[in-house]
Amino acid sequence: MSTRIKSAAVAIVIAIIALILHNTFIFNLFIGFISVVAVFEIFRATGMDKFKYQAIACYVFAGLDALMPVFYKHGLLYFVSYRLYLGLYVLAMCILYLYDHKNFKYDNFFFMMGATVLLSYSFGTLINMSNMEVGGVFLIVLTLAGAWLADSGAYFVGRKFGKTHPWPEISPNKTLEGLIGGVVCNGIFLLIISFVYDVILKGASVRYVMVFFAGMACALIGLVGDLTASMIKRQTGIKDYGNIMPGHGGIMDRFDSVILVAPFMYYLISQGLILK
């Protein structure tokens, strides 16, 4: 327990520093690090890391995707558009596929590219939030809370009332009663965070009704991400994706729900459904 508390404390301090510096390249480096490590953990879990050169190409793309917005923000390298470096990445993977076709099969080819682009895109939406003119830090915090706090509500409600286990083979500790409690609590948690930002900190006006429903939706969407990541662990026979956070596991163990929640929240934010 002491190890979990210490590693969590370190992670919180790092996260706070990253949020304080959300308008600088440090935040991009932070997200780039998370993206690259997440891709690495997925490849290691599924055995894709044995394809050394293909894996390197994927890591480079994940890191580059997080860093390019820094240049765009300062009016630099606009000619190196997302479509350009995505196309170069796909081209490189195709060349490596042809070069190593006896060992590197089509399912490896599509899995590695799909996982890399998915993870890079998902974490990249946090960078997009940080670059917004209004409420950057608040929007990131709200998104991460939407992905993570449902577990707390689900834990306490499930511990008190949980009896039904709908996914015993995937996540035996989760209960239907806990899920319902987590969904409702998540909506309330996001309302509280929004109230603090809007009223106490005098931030931008918030659409509270939408925030409440977004919180409940995040709990369900995050659960899908959590169960999907858990299923991969079950099928690959591993307990954790890594040990970068002692007592907590790897990046994928902590950010599995964020992978789906972040793009969802970014869509709502970009459509003006969270802030007035």
Q: What own/partner pairs with CB < 8 Å and gap ≥ 24 does 175-180 have?
A: 178/154, 179/154, 179/219, 179/223
The structure's pTM equals 0.91
Binned at pLDDT 50, 70 and 90, residue 6 comes out as low
pLDDT tens-digit map of 189-212: 999 999 999 999 999 899 999 999
Q: Which residue has the higher pLDDT, 174 or 257?
A: 257
Q: Is the pLDDT confidence value at 149 over 70?
A: yes
Using an 8 Å Cβ cutoff, are 73 and 82 in contact? no
Q: Is the pLDDT confidence value at 100 over 90?
A: yes
pLDDT tens-digit map of 245-256: 877 789 999 999
pLDDT tens-digit map of 178-187: 889 889 999 9
